[in-house]
């Protein structure tokens, strides 16, 4: 279980509502909702898996050693912090920045189950940056979205005292402490939380397939009935543990049935070039994200990673050549997949056709020169709509497939397809897939819901899950990869799971079309997003300057080419490409539509003015010649 999933972990009902209700609504399938048959049993199992920490002492001034367990806490204010909620401050507390401290004593049982021998981990959540101290030592710091739970002990003993200190730095304007809890799991014995996940996973998958459902539901009923909570109430820990083993055995037939379906885990990170931060910050986001992916490849032999946006790799090439060389090695091994083939992930409503072609020309050229890879998968999961001409541009540029998920955000019309052919007016088409999200997780129950929704809708037995923290980078966390490794095990009651690439998924689809007669629908229109508003009007000066640059650059190239052919005046492809890169950057889907912070448009004005001056000089020189 990951930190980002712990809000759902707090109650079985909340988990059900998230995974079933909102999932089905978002995908446009209100009829596909599994209804929790065993809420009491699942809540009981869940109660054995976490220990909340609600009460904290708070000090709203910075201290040199606020983590010291011996620190005098007199005068500190008591506050209540429920996990993933803003702190409820007592009267007189005006700041959520500062120090939080809690002293926690490990109980002998949790939810009635003996805690001896269990593994305890501390999960802390920040809205931004923070520091975590355990028994006086710094154990974690950084962005709250990417922090993994901290190991407290591999073998818990009741009565242990744990001192926890949290520091929210004052320099982080947006940072808030959103709570902490202790996660409990049982690595050397049947795990109640693991069993709960398997039961809910099976229940969710079963809900999507009416044929044979009654018999499979009976099998699930038997497994749940095996759990002997009465023994636990009597204090018979051995009998309760044995009942968990029996329940897992009764789930085996369901496991065999679910293995006909496949979940392909595609690790990735959506990195916005500039959105709520300037592009200069993104350079370091790229380095940190890519470094994390490389570390995970060292630790997990099966782990794969997929990344778009050529500008990211150019930054790494220029500033961090050692990491760039490591990526070149991983690309050759087939573990680091390059997709997208565009300089950035641009807006796909407003740039002119030449800009989109240049996105691909400049991007693919870099990938071919630096990695020896000819990218053929279009990748733009976050643009605010997609031009009808895009399949034609993609096809003529050597692409055969396209990935986005943005149409699931529609607020009016439910888009009817998830796997389909997208066709341009000239008949060009690309194989298109809508994953559930671009920054999903490896949480099994949500994935089971996707199986129950996607497979009947597409008639294809696989889903591709894009997982990893996105927008401000981050990528897959170690917790997510650990969960994927667990789901890969044949004995885990879950569909077949494997680390994968987007290319492997599309290859399977193409083979199914060719060999199994899979018929896919076609969409012969634009992909119009009914959600983000003002894309054609907001920050209109930036839009005007982009269009001016597009027109002037094309004219400069035309007349420079004429001047070269007629008079042999100098012509520099490299110079034109450098100017195009400036324009292509500001095509980005949070710059050109106007959805970023104000500083980005100051930067865009400077950047586009430089491009305009450079192309004007080339244009005027060629006309003079």
Asked about 288 being catalytic, the answer comes back as no
- CA 187, 189, 190, 191 torsion-angle sign: negative
3-state secondary structure 76-135: CEEEECCCCCCCECCCCCCCCCEEEEEEEECCCEECCEECCCCEEEEEEEECCEEEEEEC
Strands 177-185, 50-53: pairing kind: antiparallel
Phi, psi of 58 (to 5 degrees): -125, 135
**Could you say which DSSP state residue 152 is in?**
E
Say how far apart CA 549 and CA 33 lie, in whole Å: 50
CA–CA distance from 246 to each of 46, 74, 252 (Å)? 18, 52, 10
Say how far apart CA 36 and CA 22 lie, in whole Å: 14
- Would residue 461 be called left, alpha or beta, if left means φ above 0 and alpha means ψ between -120 and 50 degrees? alpha
Say how far apart CA 104 and CA 77 lie, in whole Å: 17
Residue whose C-alpha is closest to residue 366's, from 567, 512, 581, 597:
581
Strands 419-423, 522-523: pairing kind: parallel
**Could you say which DSSP state residue 49 is in?**
S
Strands 55-59, 77-80: pairing kind: antiparallel
Say how far apart CA 392 and CA 428 lie, in whole Å: 5
Helix (H) or strand (E) holding 466: strand 462-467
Q: Which residue has the tokens 């004005």?
A: 605
Distance of CA 2 to the CA centre of its chain: 12
Which one from 382, 437, 586, 587 is the annotated catalytic residue?
382
User: Between vectors from CA 446 to CA 242 and to CA 206, what angle results, nearest 5°?
Assistant: 65
**Could you say which DSSP state residue 440 is in?**
B
Q: What is the DSSP string of 579-604?
A: HHHHHHHHTBTTTTTS-S-THHHHHH
Q: Which residue has the tokens 């149409």?
A: 407
Say how far apart CA 81 and CA 69 lie, in whole Å: 20
Helix (H) or strand (E) holding 338: strand 336-338
Strands 462-467, 262-268: pairing kind: parallel
First CA to last CA across the chain, in angstroms? 67
Buried b (16+ CB within 10 A) or exposed e, 75-98: ebeebebebbeebebeeebeebbb
How large is the C-alpha radius of gyration of the chain? Answer: 27
Residues designated catalytic: 382
């Amino acid at each position: 279980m990951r930190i980002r999933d712990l809000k759902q972990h707090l109650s079985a009902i909340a988990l059900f509502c998230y995974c079933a209700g909102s999932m089905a609504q978002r995908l446009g399938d209100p009829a596909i909702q599994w209804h929790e048959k065993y809420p009491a049993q699942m809540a009981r199992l869940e109660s054995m898996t976490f220990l909340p920490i609600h009460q904290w002492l708070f000090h709203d001034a910075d201290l040199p050693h606020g983590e010291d367990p011996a620190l005098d806490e007199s005068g500190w204010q008591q506050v209540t912090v429920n996990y993933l909620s803003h702190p409820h401050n007592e009267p007189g507390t005006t700041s959520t920045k500062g120090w939080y401290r809690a002293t926690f004593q490990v109980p002998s049982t949790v939810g009635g189950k003996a805690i001896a021998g269990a593994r305890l981990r501390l999960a802390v959540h920040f809205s931004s940056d923070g520091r975590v101290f355990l028994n006086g030592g710094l154990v974690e710091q950084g962005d709250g979205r990417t922090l993994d739970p901290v190991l407290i002990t591999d073998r818990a003993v009741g009565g242990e005292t744990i001192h926890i200190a949290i520091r929210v730095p004052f320099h982080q304007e947006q940072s808030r402490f959103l709570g902490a809890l202790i996660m409990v799991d049982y690595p050397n014995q049947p795990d109640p939380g693991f069993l709960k996940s398997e039961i809910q996973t099976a229940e969710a998958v079963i809900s999507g397939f009416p044929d044979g459902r009654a018999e499979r539901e009976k099998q699930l009923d038997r497994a749940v009935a095996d759990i002997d909570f009465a023994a636990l109430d009597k204090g018979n820990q051995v009998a309760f543990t044995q009942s968990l083993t029996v329940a897992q055995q009764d789930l085996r037939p369901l496991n065999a049935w679910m293995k006909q379906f496949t979940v392909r885990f595609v690790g990735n990170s959506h990195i916005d070039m500039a959105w709520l931060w300037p592009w200069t910050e993104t350079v370091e986001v790229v380095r940190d994200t890519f470094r994390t992916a490389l570390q995970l490849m060292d630790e997990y032999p099966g782990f794969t990673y997929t990344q778009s946006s050529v500008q990211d790799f150019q930054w790494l090439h220029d500033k961090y050549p050692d990491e760039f060389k490591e990526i070149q090695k991983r690309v050759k091994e087939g573990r680091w997949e390059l997709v997208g083939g565009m300089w950035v992930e641009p807006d796909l409503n407003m740039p002119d056709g030449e800009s989109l072609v240049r996105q691909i020309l400049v991007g693919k050229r870099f990938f071919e020169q630096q990695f020896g890879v000819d990218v053929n998968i279009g990748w733009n999961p976050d643009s605010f709509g997609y031009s009808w001409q895009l399949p034609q541009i993609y096809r003529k540029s050597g692409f055969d497939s396209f990935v986005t998920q943005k149409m699931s955000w529609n607020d009016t019309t439910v888009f009817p397809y998830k796997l389909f052919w997208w066709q341009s007016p000239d008949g060009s088409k690309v194989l298109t897939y809508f994953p559930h999200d671009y920054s999903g997780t490896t949480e099994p129950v949500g994935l089971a819901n996707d199986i129950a929704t996607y497979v009947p809708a597409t008639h294809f037995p696989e889903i591709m899950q894009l997982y990893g923290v996105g927008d401000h980078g981050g990528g897959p966390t170690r917790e997510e990869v650990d969960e994927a490794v667990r789901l890969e095990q044949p004995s885990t009651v879950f569909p077949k799971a494997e680390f994968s690439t987007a290319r492997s998924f599309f290859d399977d689809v193409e083979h199914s079309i060719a060999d199994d007669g899979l018929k896919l629908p076609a969409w012969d229109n634009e992909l119009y997003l009914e959600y983000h508003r003002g894309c054609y009007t907001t920050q209109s000066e930036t839009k005007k300057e982009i269009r001016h640059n597009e027109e002037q650059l094309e004219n400069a190239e035309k007349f420079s080419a004429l001047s070269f052919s007629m008079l042999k005046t100098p012509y520099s492809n490299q110079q034109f490409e450098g100017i195009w890169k400036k324009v292509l950057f500001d095509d980005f889907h949070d710059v050109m539509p106007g959805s970023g912070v104000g500083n980005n448009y100051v930067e865009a004005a400077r950047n586009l003015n430089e491009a305009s001056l450079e192309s004007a000089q080339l244009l005027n020189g060629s006309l003079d010649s």
